[in-house]
Structure 1
Amino acid sequence: MPELWRLTRNRYGRTAYDALAQLGLTATVMLEYVAPLEDAPVDTESTGAYSVERCEPTQTAVLDAPVEELRPGERVIAALEDGRLRGYCFCSIDAAHEIRPLERTLAFDGAYIRRVFVDPDHRNQGIATAIVAEACRQARERGARCATALVAIDNGPSRRLFERHGFEPRRRRRYVRVGPFSHRSTRAV
């Protein structure tokens, strides 16, 4: 399968995807990954020349983070190198989110980790790994017992990232809409 995720992970691809969706044509397959947080190891060491910490949404403007999507109480976890943003993710606890590709709102028990992004010039340096680890650590501190992430089935890098953190696929969510006709399915993996 072609890596379609690469086409929609930029402003232009997202615009085309949204235009097709408005015309009534959309299809997606996502894996719902879940990991327990009680027994997850706590990595308190800094990795590389950057720190990973909670940051203010305004700090993410340099990477065009979609902060307008943030839910009340949702945190931005960011990797900073000498004060410069290198990557981020959003993490909420016990919240409901509109999942645009599925055209549905889903409620998540525990943490929901989403929008993991690393500046392309700083990828493959362990930054995303550190960001997800810190999001899990903070979620556990806030009382979450598990964490969930939704990943497009063809997004291999994100799937590998979450699998390295002990996330396991639990459900496969499919959605197709052509005009007024739509079909959804959710199956255990």
Structure 2
Amino acid sequence: MRHEDLIIRPARTEDEKELSELNRAAWSWQSDVAPQPAEGDGVFDERHAPDQFLLALLDDRIVGYIRVVPPTPLASNRHVRQIQGLAVSSAARGRGVGRALVEAGCTAAREQGARRITLRVLGHNAPARRLYEACGFVVEGSLTEEFLIDGRYVDDIWMARSLVL
């Protein structure tokens, strides 16, 4: 894939149906702690606004998204953003889409005045952990056996990256 073929842009309300389909198709116990969304479930609501999402497009099709938000509403935490969603379609995996989305999310967070960006990733999700490490994130903590997923206890790994240049 040539990077000029990949377009990263903010989500729009009219993207919801295609984004919902991607979100459902990309769902996996490897990356999600909640059950798979039902067919027809939307993505946008009062807590998940289109302006929180960046989309990756190839050939005018949504092939990935990242959601970056303030982790809390507190003024004392205003300098931090958190990745609260990342997905890439199976057809686009291994083509640099995830990395492009993470970097775009970090750039957007920095432009919003953030000094650091954090995320949580399941301990058994090795591909995601490798991606985040390749993008400069480091492990800052772990909650052992935080989730019971598909009959197994899974650690919750906290990672972060400085956005100060």
TM-score, normalised with respect to structure 1: 0.57
Distance in 1 (CA, whole Å) between partners of 2:123 and 2:13 is: 28
Unaligned runs of 5+ in 2: 25-41, 149-155, 159-165
Q: CA deviation at 1:83?
A: 1.9
Name the larger-Rg structure: 1
Does 1:130 find its partner at 2:100?
yes
Indicate the residue corresponding to 2:21 in structure 1. 62
Indicate the residue corresponding to 1:17 in structure 2. none
Does 1:81 find its partner at 2:58?
yes
The Cα RMSD (Å) is 3.1
SS in 1 for 2:5: coil
Higher-RCO chain (CA-CA 8 Å, sequence separation at least 6)? 1
Q: Which ranges of 4 or more aligned residues in structure 1 deviate by more than 3 Å?
A: none
SS in 2 for 1:64: helix
Q: CA deviation at 1:134?
A: 0.2
Verify the 8 A CA contact 2:23 2:87 in the aligned structure 1: no
Paired-residue identity, %: 26
How has the CA–CA distance of structure 1 residues 166 and 69 changed in structure 2, closer, same or farther, with 3 Å as cutoff? farther
Q: CA deviation at 1:58?
A: 4.4
Verify the 8 A CA contact 2:80 2:117 in the aligned structure 1: yes
Does 1:53 find its partner at 2:23?
no
Does 1:149 find its partner at 2:119?
yes
Indicate the residue corresponding to 1:90 in structure 2. 67
Q: CA deviation at 1:129?
A: 0.2
Unaligned runs of 5+ in 1: 1-45, 97-106, 178-184
Indicate the residue corresponding to 1:158 in structure 2. 128
Distance in 2 (CA, whole Å) between partners of 1:127 and 1:133 is: 10
Q: Aligned to 1:140, which of 106, 110, 116? A: 110
TM-score, normalised with respect to structure 2: 0.64
Aligned residues: 126
Verify the 8 A CA contact 2:79 2:113 in the aligned structure 1: no
- What does the per-residue CA deviation read over 1:46-104, in whole Å, with 9 as the maximum and x for residues that have no partner? 825111121125411331366247736661011011321010011102436xxxxxxxx
Verify the 8 A CA contact 2:139 2:157 in the aligned structure 1: no
Bigger strand fraction: 1
Distance in 1 (CA, whole Å) between partners of 2:157 and 2:83 is: 20
SS in 2 for 1:95: coil
- What does the per-residue CA deviation read over 1:123-151, in whole Å, with 9 as the maximum and x for residues that have no partner? 10000000000000000000110000100
